[in-house]
Amino acid sequence: MSQWKQIQQLQIKYQEQVGYLYDDNFPMDIRQVLSNYIESQDWDTAANHESMATVLLSNLLSQLDRQCSQEQNFLQRHNLKFIYQQLQTKCKASPLLMAGVISSCLREERRIISTASIQEQGPLEKSMQN
Amino acid sequence: MSQWKQIQQLQIKYQEQVGYLYDDNFPMDIRQVLSNYIESQDWDTAANHESMATVLLSNLLSQLDRQCSQEQNFLQRHNLKFIYQQLQTKCKASPLLMAGVISSCLREERRIISTASIQEQGPLEKSMQN
């Protein structure tokens, strides 16, 4: 199961923690719409190599642009277009920073999923592990 | 048919004109989620009367808050919550300005709908009107 699908199944208190990771810098709409692409790239390495960050972000923008043009829903198309324009500027200005933001978000998501998984284990399972 | 529903049925070129009206100041998500409330209030008058603007915006925020808490979809709930927090600050700081923005958006939407309606009439209908 993809990381993003696992997040959809968390309790609301954990989803809220994930929510704090996403704002105008990296809108959650992109995380959802391009979840497969985002999860299949090595953002940790890209965050330290500008040429790699530039390529990964350029691909991300192309895919987002394609999503915009295919989107039938008026509100969703409007939002994706607005996000695309804002993200295009940020990716050109500071690709390393942007790759770093994505890398951090994915890492923090994994941490929250892991915490939720431990917390949701009952006392019996915990004692059996000890 | 509500004004917002009429906009959903416009050609994409007219929908794009409507899209230019909405940005972070008055996100389109609110226009859609609270379309009935927004269209049933007198924002023209509120834009010139601070106490009325304050009441209308306070009701708008209450309804948005309720929508947030009822929303089941993780992404949609996150976006509405983010918009709510941003809008709350703007409404408190300058209610007249905010009421004016809503009033202008509704007026411009009507102008675009009217233009689209005239443009979509064929030459025969036009000549019969003359």
Q: Is B63 part of a structural domain of the chain?
A: yes
| Structure tokens that stand for A4 in this block | 């993003």
pLDDT single digits (tens) B63-95: 999 999 999 899 999 999 999 999 999 999 999
Q: Is A77 part of a structural domain of the chain?
A: yes
Decide if A112 touches B, using CB distance below 8 A. no
If one counts the domains in chain A, the total is: 1
Decide if A71 touches B, using CB distance below 8 A. no
Q: What is the pLDDT of residue B110?
A: 97
Q: Is A89 part of a structural domain of the chain?
A: yes
Q: Is A67 part of a structural domain of the chain?
A: yes
Query: Could you give the count of Cα atoms lying within 13 Å of B84 in the half-sphere of its Cβ?
Result: 20
Q: Residue B110 CB: number of other CB atoms within 10 A?
A: 12
Spatial distance between the Cα atoms of A32 and A30, rounded to a whole number of angstroms: 5
pLDDT single digits (tens) A36-75: 999 999 999 999 999 999 999 999 999 999 999 999 899 9
CB < 8 Å to B113, chain A = none
CATH number at residue B90: 1.10.532.10
CB < 8 Å to B8, chain A = 74
CB < 8 Å to A82, chain B = 23
Q: Is B93 part of a structural domain of the chain?
A: yes
Query: Sign of torsion, CA A49 A54 A55 A56?
Result: positive
Q: Is B57 part of a structural domain of the chain?
A: yes
Domain range for A34 is 7-121
Q: Is B34 part of a structural domain of the chain?
A: no
Nearest to A63 by CA among A97, A94, A93, A40: A40
